[in-house]
Amino acid sequence: MSKWIKTILLVLVVGFALFYLFTRPEAAASAVKSFFGAFDAIGRFFVALSR
Residue-number span of the structural domain to which 36 is assigned = 25-51
Is residue 16 assigned to a domain?
no
Is residue 39 assigned to a domain?
yes
Is residue 6 assigned to a domain?
no
pLDDT digits (tens, 9 = 90+) for 8-49: 999 999 999 889 888 998 988 898 898 888 899 999 999 999
**Per-position b or e across 3-20, b if 16+ CB within 10 A of its CB:** eeeeeeeeeeeeeeeeee
pTM of the model: 0.55
Say how many domains are in the chain: 1
Q: Quick check: helix, strand or coil at residue 36?
A: helix
Is residue 51 assigned to a domain?
yes
Is residue 44 assigned to a domain?
yes
Who contacts 28 (Cβ-Cβ below 8 Å, separation ≥6)? 20, 21
Is residue 11 assigned to a domain?
no
Is residue 40 assigned to a domain?
yes
